[in-house]
Structure formats: C-alpha cells, structure tokens
Structure 1
Amino acid sequence: MRRSTGHARDALAWQTQSLLLAYPDERLPEHLALALRVAAGQPKAVARPLQRFAEHAGRTPLPELAADYVATFDHRKRCCPYLTYYAHGDTRKRGVALLRLKQTYARAGWRLGDDELPDHLAVVLEFAATDPAAGARLLTEHRAGLELLRLALSDTDSPWAAVLESVSATLPALAGDEREAVMRLAAEGPPEEQVGLAPFTPSSFMPEPSPGGPR
C-alpha cells in the first residue's frame, strides 16, 4: 500500500472504482474500458487489481456477473458495502453516522438521490472523486470497515476483492491502531442494538440498505 499522492490521479481511480462497485448493467463494457484506461496512468498497486477485475468481468456473461454481485453484496452480511455498518451495526448510532455523511456531502454542494444511502462504498468513492480532500478523510475514517470488507471478499474469492485492493492502495499504509481496529471488528463483528442507546435519530435517517446498492 502507498501513501496517497496526486489528487487528480486519486480522483480518477476513485471514480473508476465507484463504477465497478455498482450493480453491473448494460454500461459495464464502457466502465471496464474506462478502468483499463485509468489503470494505465496509476501506480502498479492501484492499477493491477483494476486490470484483474476488468479481465474477469470482461469474460464473464453479464447475467452471471450480476447474479454473483447480488449473491455477494445482498446475501452475505460479511460483505456489506455500507461502511457505517462495520462501526455501528444496526444500532441507532448508525443513523447519526448516516446523517453526518449527508451533511458532509451537502457542505460540499453534493447531493444524493432519494434512493441512495450515503455510506455505500460506491457512493463514498463517487464523492471522493469530486472532492478528493474530503473524500480521502471519509475513506480513512472508515478504513477499518473498508479493510474488513476487502478481507471478506478475498476470503470468498470474489472478483470485487480486486477493486477493494485497488481502493486500499490509494490510501496511506495502515497504522497500528487501524490494524487493531480491523482485527477487533473481524473478531467481534459490528455492535448490536442496545435499548436506550442515545442519541436517537429519526427513522428517516436509518433506511434499510436497498438490494445491491447503487444501480
């Protein structure tokens, strides 16, 4: 892993990774072509995983890849793409974290669609591509969850593990406390709801993840 340098280069990587983490549809060939073009200008640690994913997705029939996406991200809790879940689980604190993300986006003049949750990794990466400094802070803040997702995808031999590997390579090397956070999350899992947990956030800020995330 490397320390992130060059906002423009990182922004291109994050935009590409965001597209590859969305539900694969008829635009996939265009996204794969973009991934290969962007990879050509990236450091090897960022580029090679993008190339691996593009090669796999390019030779896999779209219905098969789409089914694999649903099986991975919708049916495996360990492969949850919603980053606040790793820190807060399904507790009320997650609602506060979602609200803060929305506020961060709004301050940058960036607004989500009504059907998008702000903590889906594809959404965070898309935001990071438009505001690299703020986006890098968000990705670093949720680094433990991001790494746990990467490990879960690797454990299941998912092709999307390569995309997460590429994301991690755009960020600073893990510090000791971040490694410990990843290990703790892996051992304990995200927290469970606690009765009377405060502060309470209205249910409108705690929507259930939609199947497959951004599409």
Structure 2
Amino acid sequence: MPANPQPVNPRTANPLPATIPALVRTRVRAAVRRPGRLTPEEAAARSLLLRLCSLFLQYPDTELATARPVLTSTVEALPPSPAAEELAAFTSWFAEQQPEALERHYVEMFDLRRKSSLYLTYYLHGDTRRRGMALLTLNQRYRAAGWNTDGGELPDHLPVVLEFAALTGSAGGEAPLRQHRRGLELIHRALTDADSPYRHVVAALLTLLPPATEADRTAVAQLVAEGPPNEEVGLDPYGTYGEGEFAPPGTFVPPAAALPTRVPPAPTSRTEGPR
C-alpha cells in the first residue's frame, strides 16, 4: 500500500504544477500578484500609467495639446506592457491631430453620448437617489485620504478618479476603479463601437484591473440592452450642468415661507374705553 501522504500546508503549497517551467511559473505569479504586493519600482510605474490615463481622458485644451510631444516621449519610454502598447497606439493618433479636431472628437465621444460618459456613478446608479449618495461617499473617501479636488469636476469623473488612484496607491486608491469596473467596460465597448482612439486609453486602464468575471460580462450586456437605472431626481446623466449643480439653474423654486405656528387673535368689534 502507498505510504500515507503528508499533510500539505495551504499557505506554503505551490498552486502551480511542478511540470511548468520555472520561468513561466514566475511570470504567472507576477501576473496574478495583488497590487498591494508590488515593489516600489512597480508601484511607481503603475502610478505613472494611471496618471497618463488621467491626462489623456481630460478635455484636450490648449495646455494639454501643447504637451503632446512630452506625453508621447513619456509613453515611448515606458517599460513594455499591454498598457504601454495601448497608450502608444493612442498617442500615435493623438499627436497628429489638429487641436480643433481633438476638441470636437472629445465632445462627441464623452459629452454627447451617455454610453461613453466619463461620470462613473451614472453606470452603477443611473438617475436615482443612490447616485447622490455615491458621489458623497466618494468625496468623503478623498477627504479621508487628505486629498481635496478643486471642485471643477464631480468626484466620479474618470480623470479625477484616476488621479486619486495615482496619488494614493493601489490599495485604497484604486478601490473606486475596481468598484466601477463594469462601467469602464461599457465605456470601452462604446468607444470601440464608435472606432474612437480613446478606446486604447480605457483598454490600458482595464489591463491594470482584475480580469472581468462572468458576472461582470452579464451585467455589462444588461447595461447595453437596458441602460442604467432611471429615476427622475434632477441628476443629469453627465453629472453637472454648471458650477456643481445637479439640475439646470432655476429648476428649483423654494417654497413660500410657512405661516407662524401661533396666530394672534383677530381684534373684536367691541370698543373698550379706558379703565
């Protein structure tokens, strides 16, 4: 009879078959390594990728358009990775466009299309009251980390979320990105359907997140078919109409002042003389 097998410690056991070459096993372990286990060099490279994604998904104003040569050279100097390849494909287009054409394309992709809007809580909560709470929770997360936005955008705007992740680190900083992965998948699908080069930026971001699950793919398909939840509460699908308003100026009309709780008695018709 065979000898009794020795008990295996699940914490020290190698989950990969010993027949796999050592080099392959090392690369597999590196591929599934959790972000919290990254070396300082890997964390810095990851932060740079997130910051580049944040910059590329911002409105291409004059300052950003002027910085295109620097951004292109930065992408060219990145270590080889799937994310670097995607960003290189984007910058090859980005660097050659006229500024006016860049602006038009950005507005068409992100301001005029709900399925590729950059406001992440819209995909999870739609036009419901829960979206307002999600925005508040996200803002509280930023403040708890000691980071305050300038108030120019809502806290769920993807470039803002990416900047927070780049500054704060992969543990808590990337949590909002993981939470809204399905929305990111939908944005990527919409940009791909529109043949927009911005699809490469979102694709680069998705390579940094955990792989999509079957539940994720099912939820994205449902979003494509039905759209996000809908409930008319004054929340615009793009997040804001102006300086942080959730509805157009003048929409809200305050109610009339309430009557006092104690009403003085009306004067009587009887006239009393001096006493």
Superposed pair shares fold, TM > 0.5: yes
Name the SS of the counterpart of 2:162 in structure 1: helix
Name the SS of the counterpart of 1:59 in structure 2: coil
| Percent identity of paired positions between Structure 1 and Structure 2 | 42
Name the SS of the counterpart of 1:81 in structure 2: coil
**Residue deviations 1:187-215, cap 9 Å, x none?**
221000078xxxxxxx89x994358xxxx
**Amino acid of the structure 1 residue aligned with 2:210:** P
**Residue deviations 1:74-104, cap 9 Å, x none?**
1111111100000111111100000010000
**Amino acid of the structure 2 residue aligned with 1:85:** Y
Whether the 8 Å CA contact 1:49–1:165 is kept in 2: the answer is yes
Structure 1 match to 2:137: 100
Select the structure with the greater relative contact order (CA < 8 A; seq sep ≥ 6).
1
- Tell me which structure has the larger Cα radius of gyration: 2
1:58 partnered with 2:89: no
| Distance in 1 (alpha carbons) for counterparts of 2:161 and 2:241 | 16
Structure 2 match to 1:130: 167
Shift of 1:35: 4.8
Whether the 8 Å CA contact 2:125–2:228 is kept in 1: the answer is yes
**Amino acid of the structure 2 residue aligned with 1:135:** G
**Amino acid of the structure 1 residue aligned with 2:84:** A
Shift of 1:10: 1.3
More helix by share: 1
* RMSD of Structure 2 on Structure 1 (CA): 2.4
Structure 1 match to 2:240: 209
| Distance in 1 (alpha carbons) for counterparts of 2:114 and 2:209 | 25
| Distance in 2 (alpha carbons) for counterparts of 1:157 and 1:106 | 37
Match of 1:25 among 52, 58, 61: 61
Structure 2 portions without partners, runs of 5+: 1-30, 243-275
Whether the 8 Å CA contact 2:117–2:238 is kept in 1: the answer is no
Residues 208, 182 of structure 1: alpha-carbon distance in 2 compared, 3 angstrom cutoff: closer
Residues 31, 58 of structure 1: alpha-carbon distance in 2 compared, 3 angstrom cutoff: closer
Give the length in aligned residue pairs. Answer: 203
TM-score (norm 2): 0.68
Whether the 8 Å CA contact 1:46–1:170 is kept in 2: the answer is yes
Residues 67, 23 of structure 1: alpha-carbon distance in 2 compared, 3 angstrom cutoff: same
Residues 135, 69 of structure 1: alpha-carbon distance in 2 compared, 3 angstrom cutoff: same
1:77 partnered with 2:114: yes
